[in-house]
Amino acid sequence: MTLEAVATHAGVGRGTASRVINGSERVSDASREAVLRAVRELGYVPNPAARALVRRRSDTAALVVAVEEERVFWEEPYFSAIVRGATAGLAAAGIQLLLAIAQSRQDRDRLTAFLKARHVDGVLLSSLRGDDPLPDELEQSGIPTVLVGRPTGYVPTWAVDVDNTAGARLAVRHLVERGRRRIATITGPLDIQAGVDRRIGYREVLEAAGLRPVPEGRGDFTRASGAAAMGELLASSTELDAVFAASDSMAAGALHVLRQSGRQVPDDVAVVGFDDSPVAAEADPPLTSVRQPLEFMGREMARLLIARLNEEPVADSKVIVRPTLVVRQSS
Give domain status of residue 88, yes or no. yes
Q: Which domain holds residue 251?
A: 164-292
CB 317 within 8 A of CB 139: no
SS3 191: coil
For residues 266 and 179, what is the distance between their CA atoms, to the nearest angstrom? 12
Question: What percent of the residues of the chain are helix, what percent strand, and what percent coil, each to the nearest 5?
Answer: 50, 15, 35
Tell me the CA end-to-end span of the chain in Å, nearest whole number.
66
- Identify whether residues 12 and 84 lie together within a single domain: no
**Amino acid making up residue 292:** Q
For residues 108 and 64, what is the distance between their CA atoms, to the nearest angstrom? 10
Chain segment 242-256, per-residue pLDDT in tens? 999 999 999 999 999
| pTM: predicted TM-score of the whole model, two decimal places | 0.80
Most trustworthy range by pLDDT among 30-39, 48-57, 258-267: 258-267
Give domain status of residue 53, yes or no. no
CB burial of residue 21 (10 Å; 0-12, 13-18, 19+): middle
- Identify whether residues 131 and 196 lie together within a single domain: no
pLDDT at 72 over 60: no
Most trustworthy range by pLDDT among 6-10, 19-23, 72-76, 162-166: 162-166
Give Cα 14 to chain centroid, integer Å. Answer: 42
Which CATH number goes with the domain that contains 34? 1.10.260.40
CB 205 within 8 A of CB 244: no
Number of separate domains in the chain:
3
- Identify whether residues 100 and 30 lie together within a single domain: no
- Identify whether residues 205 and 311 lie together within a single domain: no
For residues 216 and 179, what is the distance between their CA atoms, to the nearest angstrom? 20
- Identify whether residues 186 and 96 lie together within a single domain: no
Chain segment 189-238, per-residue pLDDT in tens? 999 999 999 999 999 999 999 998 888 999 999 999 999 999 999 998 77
- Identify whether residues 107 and 64 lie together within a single domain: yes
